């Protein structure tokens, strides 16, 4: 998968060098390119924003500058990419969306700051046909200072679903929310050695070696936890 990230803070994406995502890049499973939005400005102050039409607080990011940056990325694309727009006013991100995003060859993230990006940018690329899809996505009902952290969240959830990124494929199918057995369930408690710590013992069943019984216990615990923390998932 190829990932382009456009931002005024390229350093925000330095964690992508680490851990699974870093390894995925080294293995050639993911190729990342980070673009500094300011390099597409044309004035000497490198302005990326302006006052909102209609008044109101804050600043709006310029469609002109974003258009230049996105067109430059599109010129280098081999296949039609998907445009991902992190915004608190998008569809709420979930495992199903991560699975969908992991199936694409090329994602382009546009990461806005301030009050957001001039709405004509999304409208234009929805109409232009240069992207196979334009996805506006929120990572939850709160407002961040910009899209970068949201893009990191989306990329972390997505990249671990790309074939070959995780060594043990089972750990993906056992995840909370994974399709199949774990659909609409939170993962229950997990333990490793020692069998007793601070007076707390690992549940007997997990030491029994009885795989059917263990699977049933895990399912029961997942259901208990889901009813406690996220009852609406079972409704």
**List of residues contacting ligand ADE (CB under 6 A):** 86-88, 138-140, 142-144, 147, 150
Closest to ligand ADE by CB, 85 vs 222, is: 85
User: Smallest distance, Å, CB 231 to ligand ADE?
Assistant: 23
Closest to ligand ADE by CB, 154 vs 222, is: 154
User: Smallest distance, Å, CB 158 to ligand ADE?
Assistant: 14
Count of CB atoms situated within 10 Å of the CB of 43: 8
Closest to ligand ADE by CB, 69 vs 185, is: 69
Q: What are phi and psi of 186, to 5 degrees?
A: -90, 145
User: Smallest distance, Å, CB 192 to ligand ADE?
Assistant: 34
CA 87-234-180 angle, 5° bins: 80
CA 51-69-99 angle, 5° bins: 105
Q: What are phi and psi of 79, to 5 degrees?
A: -125, 165
Closest to ligand ADE by CB, 10 vs 88, is: 88
Q: What is the rounded (10 degree) CA torsion for 19, 22, 26, 32?
A: 160
Count of CB atoms situated within 10 Å of the CB of 16: 21
CA distance 37 to 111: 9
What are the residue numbers of the active site?
88, 115, 160, 175
CA distance 136 to 149: 15
User: Smallest distance, Å, CB 134 to ligand ADE?
Assistant: 15
């Amino acid at each position: 998968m190829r990932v382009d990230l456009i931002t005024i803070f390229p350093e925000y994406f330095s964690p992508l060098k680490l851990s699974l995502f870093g390894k995925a890049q080294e293995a050639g499973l993911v190729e990342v390119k980070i673009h500094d939005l300011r390099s597409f400005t044309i004035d000497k102050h490198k302005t990326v924003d302006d006052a909102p039409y209609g008044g109101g607080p804050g600043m709006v990011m310029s469609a002109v500058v974003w258009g230049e940056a996105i067109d430059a990325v599109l010129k280098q694309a081999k296949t039609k990419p998907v445009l991902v727009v992190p915004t608190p006013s998008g569809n709420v991100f979930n495992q199903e969306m991560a699975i969908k995003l992991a199936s694409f060859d090329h994602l382009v993230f546009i990461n806005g700051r301030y009050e957001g990006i001039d709405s004509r940018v999304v409208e234009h690329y929805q109409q232009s046909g240069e992207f196979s899809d334009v996805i506006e996505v929120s990572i939850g009902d709160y407002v961040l200072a910009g899209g970068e952290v949201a893009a990191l969240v989306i990329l972390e959830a997505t990249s671990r679903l790309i074939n070959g990124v995780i060594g043990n494929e089972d750990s993906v199918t056992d995840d909370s929310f994974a399709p199949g057995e774990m659909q609409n369930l939170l993962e229950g408690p997990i333990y490793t050695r020692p069998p007793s710590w601070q007076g707390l013992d690992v549940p007997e069943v997990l030491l029994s070696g009885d795989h059917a019984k263990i699977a049933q216990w895990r399912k029961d615990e997942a259901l208990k936890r889901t009813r406690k923390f996220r009852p609406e998932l079972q409704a």
